[in-house]
Chain A
Amino acid sequence: MIRGAIIGLGKMGLSHTAIIGANPKVKLAAVCDTSSLVLSAFKKFSQIKTYSDYSKMLDEEPLDFVVIATPTKFHYPIVKSALERGIHTFCEKPFSLTVKEGEELVALVNQKGLVNQVGYHNHFIGTFRELRRLIQTGILGELTHFTGEAYGPVVTREKGGTWRSKPEEGGGCLYDYASHVLNLIQEIIGRPVKSSGILLKSIYSKGVDDAVYALLTLNDGTSGVLSVNWSDETYRKMSTSITVMGKKGKLICDATELKIYLKEAAPHEGLDKGWTTKYITDLAIPVDFYLRGEEYSAQLDYFVDSIINRNKAEYNTFEQGLYTDKVIEMLIDNSKNNHHG
């Protein structure tokens, strides 16, 4: 059994705690948060040790890994402390607030040779996995265009809130919602290297963006559109989709289905000419414990198994998370240039 701890007990942190708590390969040694309300619930109802100071916890507890789900501005110091102590680290997305800090952490983790993962959980949804595989087979021929979208009802009224309404702390739709889409585009289609026509729009929020629209060009020259809005209450929950067009067809993918249109049949894939739909019921990654979606368990199973089996991870490395941060920084820089030019 390996020993782990969770730092940061907000929505994602509690979810990670429950999933790790249910994993028989792991001894959940401790949790850490600054909220006395949350910690006293753990003291009262669970056997898990609690800390309000992460340095103290890292010093006192012998740990194989930590899961960090604090507000983004704390990622850098906490990840650094964990890595320096030789602890495998899972960090929530977005990875870092500045590229400089992120680069330092990537260099450190590579030097230490530790397992590292960022919480871009969409890569553990069966439909997006299948989309990635199909594109890698070249089934669409030369790519001509893509659209990456996410919509949801996070901020639908005018009122101030938590750190998510502070841009300097990693708040806003670009960091929170668009980062997921940028990361999917980057790992499934290609790495964005250029952006233009970026619009960062505040709708209800003051100080941060509620919607992000931009044109992106990828490293292979493919161009496409990013369209993300977290103030759209016509969606019951966050809904993310990727559409990719090529000379031989089109793929439309979300968390529930992958729609495939091919101009000619692809018998080796068992795909007809015209439309085929693949459903999540056939593509979901099986898990032993389910909370809110297979992907949340599957990503932590992958992290734990990477530690136990000493595998080199393919999905959601710090380096991949850092690249998404670089694209975010590029979009912010471009939007500032728009304002002043």
Chain B
Amino acid sequence: MKVYDVVPGLEFDAERDLAQSPAWFLDATHSVPPWTPMFGWFWINFCRHGMQYGAEKLSLPTVHGWDWRFMNGGGYLTLLLVKSEEEKQRREVEFRKAILPLIKDYDGIWNGFVKEVLGRYKKLKELDVDTASNIELLDNFEETINTCRRMWEIHMYMMYGTYTAYILFENMCRELVGIDDTSPSFHRIVSGFDNKVFQVDRRLWEFSKIASDMGLEDVFLKNEEVDIREKLEESDSGHNFLKQFREFLNEDGWRMQRMSEINLPTWVEDPTPALSMVKQFIQKGGAFNLDEERKKISVERIETEKEILAKVPSEQRAWFEPLMRLAQKSGIFSEEHDHYLDLYTHAMMRRSALGMGRRFVKAGAIDDHEDIFFLIPDEVRRAGINPGQFDLRYIVDRRRSEWLEWQKTPNPPAILAEGFDLDQAMGVLVKSNDPIALKVVVGSMPQVRPELKADLYGTCGSPGVAEGTARVIVTEDELHLIKEGDILVAVSTSPSWTPVFSMISGVVVDRGASLSHAAIVGREYGIPVVMNVFEGTAKIQSGQRIRVDANLGAVYILDK
């Protein structure tokens, strides 16, 4: 029955869609575990829109962006390739003009976008969703939809632009200096920068010091994460601490525990994840100094820059240096955009949707306010102004049971046409030269080097060597299991995981490339990251001792 389509118009249809493209890839970074219907609707519609918008605005010579489909809570994607040589040439001429503003005034453009979205968020937050009229509330919801759409336009325009610069820089490093993006010295050049996500991290570290100064260390150390807030409320100083902490959260806490989902509370609603990060910093003790750690990395970067620049012929330096600066900004953008764009917008979506949900519960349209995540915007609109006139529970029930089914069986990593294999499919991705496909999704293929006798082979995301206890993490809510010195093993990581990077000694991820989250953050924290090992989460078990040598791209399981 068509009424139950989660993303009308973009549900995966094997017959038609495989005829359009022979390979569809699961976006495992964002849609495992499967999305709620509400979130899937937003992502499929607008991430798809943003990619095509960005590719078109920049006139990318070889791709029109990506096409997306929804299947059982998973996002499936394929490339929209530019077909004729003639069209490629025409687009290339346009591209050279379209990319110029980003080269000339990158910061001005990015800062302008940040200002624009923060202005939109501010307006959305101005409405008290609990006292507003039904019409105002629905209006707020519609504006949230528009904000999400706009957010993805900015997101993908910026991402395509910066990653293109990054790839060029990488190519030029290979050509002129003889290093590529799996080389440790390459990584040193693109790390050691401040960005918004680290600033938030730093605030949390500062709060750990404030807590110690206020004599609240024990409240953090002797209580379970979930109880910390309540225990803090019991004393005057704890109450004071929470007051300051809430002010900080109102500024910077509009983010999700899971980056690409809205069914978990934001930090503003539930400060437990943020408080547990404060706790982790307290556990590290007073001697730990985040600033010092970060300074070390930036000093290393400056040294490496000198070495690299010295190898570039002097007549090439005039453009090589600005290119290096642009490439360095892609690392900063990769981190920072999550804070200003994805996480913040998703927090706004949750806020508005839950406002609707509470209204619907009051009017009897649904039973629980969180059931709103099993509806899609068209159905929210159906009951938006007159929730008392509609009973939406039959939709919620059916969607919830489907959603629970999706959780049980993992979505296939790729859906391929008959006679088409994964290698061929990967080949198409690589040949597209799509900057996002290359730098986030596919990455370089690991080289298997039998002489190393390693258990897993991957590529270097961040240089270094580490040995420690493996901790396999599937979803964000398991992050608190991580202990100081552990080596994190995951399919991939996302920005809400960033704070644990200050505790762990290394990372192994199944998938990813040099601009994936794990690589960028690993470099900033100076810990080794091995990427693209494909079977890390399958072969490694929590508690095993492992050794990672990111420089060689090798992982060893020490107690098999």
The answer on A and B forming one complex is no
- Interface residues, chain B, with chain A CB atoms under 8 Å away: none
List residues of chain A with CB under 8 Å of any chain B CB.
Answer: none
